[in-house]
Amino acid sequence: MIVAAFSDFMQQVVSGLASGGIYALLALALVIIHRSTGVINFAQGEMATFSAYIAWTLTVNHGLSYWPAFVACLAISFGGGVGIHRVVIRPVERGSVLRIVIVTIGLLVGINGFVIWEWGGEPQQLRSPFGTETYDVGGVIVAAHDIGTIAVALGIVLLLWLLFRFTKVGLALRAVAVNPDEARLVGVRVTWMLALGWGLAATLGAVAGMLTAPTVGLDPQMMQAVLIYAFAAAVLGGIDSPIGAVVGGLLLGVLLNMLSYLSQYGAFDWFTEELRLPAALLIILVVLLVKPTGIFGRPEVKRV
Amino acid sequence: MTARTTRIIGFVAFAAFVAFVAVLPSFIGDFKAREYSYVGIYLIALLGLNILTGYTGQISLGHGAFMAIGGYTTAILMAGNEQFGGPISGGMKDVWTLPIAGLVAGLVGLAFGIPALRLSGLYLALATFAIAVAMPSTAKRFEEFTGGGSGIQLFGTPELTGSISNVEIFGLSFSPNDWMYYLAWSIALVAFAVAWLILRGRTGRAFRAVRDSEIAAVSSGVSLARYKTLAFAISAAYAGVAGGLFVIASAFINPDAFPVALSIYLLVGIVVGGLGGLSGLVFGAIFIAFLPLWAQGQDLGSLLPDRIIAETQKPGGPAMVYGIVLILLMFAIPNGVGGLFRRIGQLISSRRYSRAK
């Protein structure tokens, strides 16, 4: 009994980490844009869905094999992100935050409409790059896709850290996030850095989308719930902290699975799968009220 | 333009608008009158949201939830929830439930306004968004109150005025659709006048002070806690009345009647109408009620080529058009229709002054 309960527990932890990895990637995308522009990109989930469809159409309709399609999809997404910033976001950047929020909502509705218009509303199959094998590790069934997802999420975080920490572009990106005006004075091309931020965010979203599609099925609404989990993860970790987004995402994934696990064994028996989303929202509310800066966020000091 | 002439122009415009609203049903036909009653309903919700967001500077992405609270209050007071095992027997006439719907939603808004005091800007947007997203599943969870997923049916009940037969009132006879239209717009006009009265005086000044600079407001003796919660309460009460009317108009409520998209569209409505102004909000309400239909090419068949209409009628087409129009509007009229009005007013008045010199 105890052994079964323990392997069940580990099972939930592993699958929680896998879904948490996806939340983390999308949360990271939100954080990158929020840090540099102060905007929450409501279209982030739809951009990821769009990218996943690109990968699907490249493999199915254009006969590419998975990895070339993967790379092409990342490139297209990066270009798309830069393009969205140049064409749609930049003209409203100087106005009120609310205007940018409305524009991202317009993007959300528009991209979702385009996906349905172009590829139809029926669910499609996007295959996993890691195959469908499962491994039995001491009674815990581990899917190759889950391990792959966690590995990719951690690998990307490492790459991003290297980019931000050790390259000139990364330094410029951080400078723009801290103080765009002074960054401009010392010769950083601020608008291009912002566009680059959007490109990076779109690329991260693309990875998240391509990793989500094999487990939940590729359909136009696929990322809508994931986006809300990503909000929760970003808030939990501190909305300006990349590390926080990753820790927040993984923590949220495991936490939500723990609730299902505990409800199976009697505790929290009011918890049902429909309450997963409200539970994530409750986490947002509690974090915002108790510690609005999140786990890794720094308190904001306002100068009068 | 002196303040006095501006005010006179304002009154004349308002009177002209009231007259227009009063005669409109005789031109558009009975069925359309019901569609236009939703414009009045959205206008009420937008007036409330603009008090909070446009005048006090507190973003809310959760006003659909306050509408849902008002809607459920109205539905439960009318039909009761004893059939689901709840405690309320119902039987109240529809119109009389509206003040209670406003009151209940206002109290919830007040209660939410207190924790929301700690949040501002984007954080508040996320917190209110969370409320909007959680609302449908919460309503499903407490089914002994709300009837769960299948909701509450009001059509044909004796509490619903004009459900089947014409409505006789003040010696006039209205068809059910016209009745709904006049009910919604009378309340909308009263709501408009009340909002104007609140915002022109001391309270309105305090709201604007909070919006423009919290620090400056506090140092001039404006209590942030008091005015922020007050703005939340008033604005939620408006949403509650709108939600109650919405349920009366559709004669039905279930958890999906007030989706997250509604909260988002309300915010879109005030930005399109113009933040911090009242007159443009009518256009925001029209935008919410009709753009989804126009985006499907409805009523526009003769204006656009058939090929384009055919393309936009494919699934997903309307949403695509909606998104594009929304973004283009934000480019074209950054301060909404209300801002456009003010700009035109400024142009006229500056010409007057330059001529006087």
CA dihedral over B87, B91, B93, B94, signed as positive or negative = positive
Give the per-residue pLDDT at A287.
80
Give the per-residue pLDDT at B246.
92
B90 CA to chain A: closest CA distance, Å?
29
What's the mean pLDDT in B268-296? Answer: 81
Say which DSSP state B255 is in.
G
What's the mean pLDDT in B176-184? Answer: 83
CA dihedral over B40, B42, B44, B47, signed as positive or negative = negative
User: Which among A37, A98, A99, A270 is the top mutation candidate for probing chain B, defined by the most B β-carbons within 10 Å of its own β-carbon?
Assistant: A98
B316 CA to chain A: closest CA distance, Å?
4
Q: Are B45 and B239 in contact (CB under 8 A)?
A: yes
pLDDT tens-digit profile of B127-161?
788 788 778 877 877 776 777 777 777 776 766 76
pLDDT tens-digit profile of A238-280?
877 888 888 899 999 998 888 877 777 766 666 666 677 777 7
User: Which among B129, B133, B140, B256 is the top mutation candidate for probing chain A, defined by the most A β-carbons within 10 Å of its own β-carbon?
Assistant: B133
Cβ contact, residue pair B137, A277, below 8 Å: yes
- Confidence bin at B171 (pLDDT 50/70/90): low
B109 CA to chain A: closest CA distance, Å?
15
Of B311 and A126, the structure prediction assigns the larger pLDDT to A126
**CA–CA distance, B188 with B175 (Å, rounded to integer):** 20
Give the per-residue pLDDT at A77.
95
Task: Please indicate if any CB of chain B lies within 8 Å of the CB of A292.
Answer: yes
What's the mean pLDDT in B14-29? Answer: 79
A46 CA to chain B: closest CA distance, Å?
12
User: Which among B112, B120, B122 is the top mutation candidate for probing chain A, defined by the most A β-carbons within 10 Å of its own β-carbon?
Assistant: B122
A136 CA to chain B: closest CA distance, Å?
36
Q: How many CB pairs under 8 A join A and B?
A: 130
The full DSSP string for A107-132 is HHHHHHHHHHHHH-SS-B----TT-S
Cβ contact, residue pair A116, B315, below 8 Å: yes
Cross-chain CB nearest to A99 (options B126, B321, B330): B330
Orientation angle between helical segments A276-290 and A242-264, nearest 10 degrees: 130
**Residue from A269, A14, A36 nearest A141 by CA:** A14
Which positions in chain B touch A101 (Cβ < 8 Å)? 59, 125, 267
What's the mean pLDDT in A60-66? Answer: 84
Strands B167-169 and B172-174: antiparallel
Mean of pLDDT over chain B = 81
Task: Please indicate if any CB of chain B lies within 8 Å of the CB of A76.
Answer: no
pLDDT tens-digit profile of B60-106?
888 999 999 999 998 888 877 767 766 777 677 778 889 999 999 99
What pTM, to 2 d.p., does this model score?
Answer: 0.81
Cβ contact, residue pair A281, B134, below 8 Å: yes
Give the per-residue pLDDT at A84.
92
**CA–CA distance, B334 with B325 (Å, rounded to integer):** 13
Which positions in chain A touch B264 (Cβ < 8 Å)? 105
Which positions in chain B touch A228 (Cβ < 8 Å)? 133
Of B26 and A29, the structure prediction assigns the larger pLDDT to A29
Q: Are B253 and B8 in contact (CB under 8 A)?
A: no
What's the mean pLDDT in B29-49? Answer: 87
What's the mean pLDDT in B23-35? Answer: 77
Cβ contact, residue pair A40, B125, below 8 Å: yes
Task: Please indicate if any CB of chain B lies within 8 Å of the CB of A75.
Answer: no
Question: What residue of A is the nearest CA neighbor of B274?
Answer: A99
Interface residue ranges in chain B relative to chain A, Cβ cutoff 8 Å: 53, 59, 115, 118-119, 121-123, 125-127, 129-131, 133-134, 137-138, 140-141, 215, 264, 267-268, 271, 275, 314-324, 326-327, 330-331, 334
- Please, what's the largest Cα pairwise distance for chain A? 66
Give the per-residue pLDDT at B355.
57
Give the per-residue pLDDT at A111.
92
Give the per-residue pLDDT at A47.
93
**Residue from B87, B66, B55 nearest B246 by CA:** B66
- Helical ranges in B280-335 per DSSP H: 281-295, 306-312, 317-332
- Confidence bin at A81 (pLDDT 50/70/90): very high
A30 CA to chain B: closest CA distance, Å?
13
Cβ contact, residue pair A292, B137, below 8 Å: no
- B19, with CB counted inside 10 A (0-12, 13-18, 19+), is exposed
Cβ contact, residue pair A106, B324, below 8 Å: yes
Orientation angle between helical segments A276-290 and A222-237, nearest 10 degrees: 30
Cross-chain CB nearest to B127 (options A114, A116, A288): A288
Task: Please indicate if any CB of chain B lies within 8 Å of the CB of A277.
Answer: yes
pLDDT tens-digit profile of B262-274?
888 898 888 888 8
Mean of pLDDT over chain A = 84
Most confident of A189-198, B42-51, B206-215: B42-51
- Using the predicted structure, report yes or no on whether residue A8 has a pLDDT greater than 80: no
Most confident of A175-179, B172-176, B339-343: A175-179
Most confident of A69-73, A277-281, B5-9: A69-73
Distant-in-sequence, close-in-space partners of A162: CB < 8 Å, separation ≥ 6: A170
Cβ contact, residue pair B326, A109, below 8 Å: yes
Is this complex's ipTM strictly greater than 0.85? no
Cβ contact, residue pair A284, B130, below 8 Å: yes
Share of chain B above pLDDT 90, in %: 15
- Using the predicted structure, report yes or no on whether residue A187 has a pLDDT greater than 80: yes
Cβ contact, residue pair B323, A107, below 8 Å: yes
Give the per-residue pLDDT at A301.
61
Of A94 and B288, the structure prediction assigns the larger pLDDT to B288
- Using the predicted structure, report yes or no on whether residue A154 has a pLDDT greater than 60: yes
User: Which among A31, A85, A96, A101 is the top mutation candidate for probing chain B, defined by the most B β-carbons within 10 Å of its own β-carbon?
Assistant: A101
What's the mean pLDDT in B183-192? Answer: 90
Which positions in chain A touch B141 (Cβ < 8 Å)? 274-275
Give the per-residue pLDDT at B357.
44
Q: Are A292 and B123 in contact (CB under 8 A)?
A: yes
Which positions in chain A touch B334 (Cβ < 8 Å)? 92, 95, 99
Task: Please indicate if any CB of chain B lies within 8 Å of the CB of A13.
Answer: no
- Using the predicted structure, report yes or no on whether residue A75 has a pLDDT greater than 60: yes
Q: Which of A109-113, A299-303, B157-161, B282-286 has the lowest mean pLDDT?
A: A299-303
Give the per-residue pLDDT at B43.
93
Give the per-residue pLDDT at A303.
58
Task: Please indicate if any CB of chain B lies within 8 Å of the CB of A73.
Answer: no
What's the mean pLDDT in A35-51? Answer: 87
Cβ contact, residue pair A281, B323, below 8 Å: no
pLDDT tens-digit profile of B232-256?
999 999 999 999 999 988 888 888 8
Most confident of A151-155, B102-106, B220-224: B102-106
Cβ contact, residue pair B119, A292, below 8 Å: yes
